Amino acid sequence: MLKLYTAQVCPFAHRCRLALTFAHLEHERVEIDLADMPDWYRHISPNQKVPLLEHNGHRIWESAIINEYLNEAFPDRNLLPQDPLLRVKFRLAVDWAGNHIIPTFYQVLRNEQADAAERMHKAIADMPQWLSLEGPFWLGDQPSLADAAIYPWFERWVALEHYRNFQAEWPARVQTWLEAMRNHPQVQQEAGDPKRYVSGYARYATPAKV
């Protein structure tokens, strides 16, 4: 039995919830309060973070590693296409997002670097080159680990709008991807409350408009 330790506000844990849902894998979930992490969880989590996956007596941590494990352990669930080139594109896209979207998201939110907003606009403008031409999802006509890896920060975009009044100009291909994700039943199943994202990210945005 798979068991995922998660936190609703955490985008890294969201990656794994999406992957498990896309794969239709039965699993147990344990919600961890990140603001008041229980001692028992500190003892079992090597990095004292979420997500953490337990499977067959083993513990696996770090969201990208967990999702790659799910793909390897359950190869019939089609979390990644079989085409080796598309798998390379997946890894390159996740690496690009990890260098340009994710860190810049927090820099804009914290208002800690003067050029962060400009760099985020540049990253958004560059996004179409990383997306499949066919779409509507990242690698094609079905959601995959690429979508699971990158979308959680876009669901939390409301925090940038609320605290920094950051208004993105989405290229048409990105808008198509966002709409496909927002309208997908499994993504909706895992969606969080926007108000909870705003309150959950308040500590990153200090000092901020509340």
Q: What is the pLDDT of residues 150-208, one digit of tens each?
A: 999 999 999 999 999 999 999 999 999 999 999 999 999 999 999 999 999 999 997 54
> Cα 29 to the chain's mean position, in Å?
17
Residue-wise pLDDT for 31-57, tens only, equals 999 999 999 999 999 999 999 999 999
Of the candidates 168, 156, 177, the one whose C-alpha atom is nearest the C-alpha of residue 13 is 156
The reply to whether 16 belongs to the active site is no
CB 137 within 8 A of CB 96: no
pTM score, whole prediction: 0.96
Sheet arrangement for strand 27-31? 27-31, 2-6, 52-55, 58-61
CATH architecture assigned to 2-77? 3-Layer(aba) Sandwich (3.40)
* Cis omega (within 30 of 0) for bond into 207: yes
Give domain limits for the chain: 2-77, 84-205
Integer Rg of the chain from CA: 17
The burial class, CB within 10 Å (0-12 / 13-18 / 19+), for 120 is buried
Domain 2-77 and domain 84-205 have a common topology: no
For 84-205, the fitting CATH number among 3.40.50.300, 1.20.1050.10, 3.40.50.170, 1.20.1440.130 is: 1.20.1050.10
Alpha carbon distance 15, 93 (integer Å):
15
Statement: residue 107 has pLDDT above 70 = yes
pLDDT at 77 over 80: yes
Q: Which of 2, 4, 10, 148 is catalytic?
A: 10
